[in-house]
Structure 1
């Protein structure tokens, strides 16, 4: 209709800005505005902080798992040997490894001898998991060749053993010291099985970044592991690395129904008794738990943002109530319902936009400098309570709090906050627009 102003005209912004700057004597609206702004800021900040830590945990977990463990493990089905003992050993491991290496997408195949035994250093003992592996194959393990921290020389691996950082700390050994390895399955005598013991020089200490790996992992030269564990001429399993770890899937993929699947091809190349175990099989339950936790945390934080935006509704309801006379006058002067609605919508939306902006800034700063922030918090906690710190790697299996700031998480937080803000603002703004000017001015 001719004469109607364009939506969100300049005068609508001027009126809204005047209302946002209302003094305490005019109903305390400015106080409610500040409360709403702070509430939205803190809610968005908390949402981004949680999302960044969540993404950091997942990325760090997957990175360490893929960097220190096999993507696919191939082993043999059990059978009874001539002595009646269950046997899974791989006799032609070199030929089997070569056949698996020919599968498209496979980048590395390493025969292993793997055992859980007792490690000793001085008067200290701990359970360790020995990986018998060749020097050439060990140098292709990402988290060993390029760890977070390391001591010693990996080139001397054939002269000793490489151990995790946690084992070194638990046993009190360093590079150059000797560590005793004890296996319960030693030589068989008329008196029974005698445990086998041998000491090895520690030539390399590594920290993968995951405490439960550094706490038990020991690498031993392949031929030495064969001799020590009575596996001469055999391997226990093949450790396979692929170009795309996500392509291996898990057992829910029904590999037998898809012979073109990369794991199905590995099994076919391995032989009739070959079985597989992927990194998703071993860590899939944890990843699914992380996904469920991620979804629940997002819902909980979304509720927090919704509660914060409800403060905007309270402030707008108070504003509409205090500005009833102004609304009546504006409507009498010819201001349409749409203009009144947009004025009060701008009041609420402006608070939400500013609060969201400040929240995004604070959340990004927290995600980027989370380690420095927790160092300060730990120091303060130590000064006042004497505790060792808020983050114990022995409990959480990680040395630090991981954080990964992703654009998608930031955009999700912004979209959620602005969407809720704009939605809840419509209700009080619509009530202001529907106010009867005669009723508003009756008692003025």
Structure 2
């Protein structure tokens, strides 16, 4: 009751000082920044990993290099059908598909672009979620066997639409008595997709498996086996079984191997940002000390009278602890609300920021994905709440103890 009376008192009556209001606002903004940062971090990681797993193999199985009769290193998989069937039987594997891969030059409308070709059957491509069911698409996926499917970035770069012709040029073409001549062939664009990753949409082209074998001189062979698993996070545990099912020359390359350094960099950045923003919360909480010390000084006469009437030190400590803790509690609650609202409405907020800045705030060619995502996670919100309340309650103890230990005689000497 006494603490509530002090909190409601006006400044002229020696109530809550301006410093306390500053600390409340500071805590709210610090908690808001912490929750917003954690939500954006979680959203970015989730979107990045989802685009990796949604358009790429969880595990790639390929053969180690062997010297063929011509003295050349050969990694071709001749028994790809049997190998894919054996791999598909491994518990935890959802799909195993033979692939043909190659890098070529594409040209159309007087423009050129380097692209990566994936030769795959229509049935296997239909099981790739970010390609068969992308964010945006043009054309009909069922027409894939009649031509090629390209990313929206390739289509934009070359000025292509569904139904147009794209010319592919491979340096490894027809072998003649005078050497190897480049192979040039035109295909109809039957499907355009936006997978959600700039590097995929900008460089990738899918071609029917049999046509890719013919185009790249891979008749009767495959370059690798694309493996999808039920739980990509546990893919490392499946590698020994996959290699055993694939055969003696098989080697594995997981999605973690391909993106491990980037994910590690994200983890380090996440930890650093959490520490920095925690320091901001601490700085905001320290303002409670200033406000509470001023409140204790203004209420010295009251403390002396209450102690003389028999109020214990513990009761006085609780009075001023409640005053400081209430500031931290209200500031934390306001920060949590603001942070959650920011994460929920991040798309319109970012659109306004992008509009006011004239556009180009988010460059997908640098960041890989097309928008700034945010993902609210319960443990992130709870960690922010516990951190803010813990710091707020902790710094309140010192001035509250000082008030409790005040000598009533000294407090009333000059009254």
TM-score by length of 2: 0.97
Structure 1: tracts of 5 or more residues without a match: 1-13, 250-260, 383-387
Alpha carbons 1:21, 1:30 under 8 Å: kept: no
- Find out whether 1:354 has 2:339 as its counterpart: no
1:173, distance to aligned residue in structure 2 (A): 0.6
- Find out whether 1:325 has 2:301 as its counterpart: yes
1:188, distance to aligned residue in structure 2 (A): 2.7
Name the structure 2 match of 1:267.
Answer: 243
Q: How does 1:243-392 map to 2 (within 5 A)?
A: 243-249=230-236, 261-382=237-358, 388-392=359-363
Separation (CA, whole Å) in 2 of partners of 1:439 and 1:182: 94
Name the structure 2 match of 1:11.
Answer: none
Structure 2: tracts of 5 or more residues without a match: none
TM-score by length of 1: 0.91
Separation (CA, whole Å) in 1 of partners of 2:290 and 2:167: 70
Separation (CA, whole Å) in 1 of partners of 2:163 and 2:180: 31
Alpha carbons 1:184, 1:194 under 8 Å: kept: yes
May I ask how many residue pairs the two structures share in their alignment?
Answer: 415
Separation (CA, whole Å) in 2 of partners of 1:19 and 1:121: 77
1:28, distance to aligned residue in structure 2 (A): 7.5
1:327, distance to aligned residue in structure 2 (A): 1.1
1:124-159: CA deviations, max 9, x gaps? Answer: 111111000001101010111111111101101011
> SS where residue 340 of structure 1 aligns?
helix
Separation (CA, whole Å) in 1 of partners of 2:360 and 2:407: 62
- Find out whether 1:414 has 2:385 as its counterpart: yes
1:240, distance to aligned residue in structure 2 (A): 0.5
Separation (CA, whole Å) in 1 of partners of 2:2 and 2:69: 94
Among 198, 206, 209, the residue aligned to 1:219? 206
Alpha carbons 1:48, 1:410 under 8 Å: kept: yes
Moved more, 390-399 or 342-351: 390-399
Alpha carbons 1:161, 1:220 under 8 Å: kept: yes
Among 190, 194, 198, the residue aligned to 1:203? 190
Name the structure 1 match of 2:18.
Answer: 31
1:380, distance to aligned residue in structure 2 (A): 1.6
Name the structure 2 match of 1:429.
Answer: 400
> SS where residue 304 of structure 1 aligns?
helix
Name the structure 1 match of 2:145.
Answer: 158
> SS where residue 215 of structure 1 aligns?
helix
Alpha carbons 2:8, 2:15 under 8 Å: kept: no
1:27, distance to aligned residue in structure 2 (A): 5.4
1:81-116: CA deviations, max 9, x gaps? Answer: 222221100011011111111111111010000011
Alpha carbons 1:151, 1:205 under 8 Å: kept: yes
Name the structure 1 match of 2:227.
Answer: 240
Separation (CA, whole Å) in 2 of partners of 1:355 and 1:131: 54
Separation (CA, whole Å) in 1 of partners of 2:121 and 2:384: 48
Name the structure 1 match of 2:89.
Answer: 102
Q: How does 1:129-148 map to 2 (within 5 A)?
A: 129-148=116-135
Alpha carbons 2:316, 2:404 under 8 Å: kept: yes
1:174-230: CA deviations, max 9, x gaps? Answer: 111111111111123344322111111111111111111111111000011000101
Moved more, 169-178 or 78-87: 78-87
- Find out whether 1:58 has 2:45 as its counterpart: yes
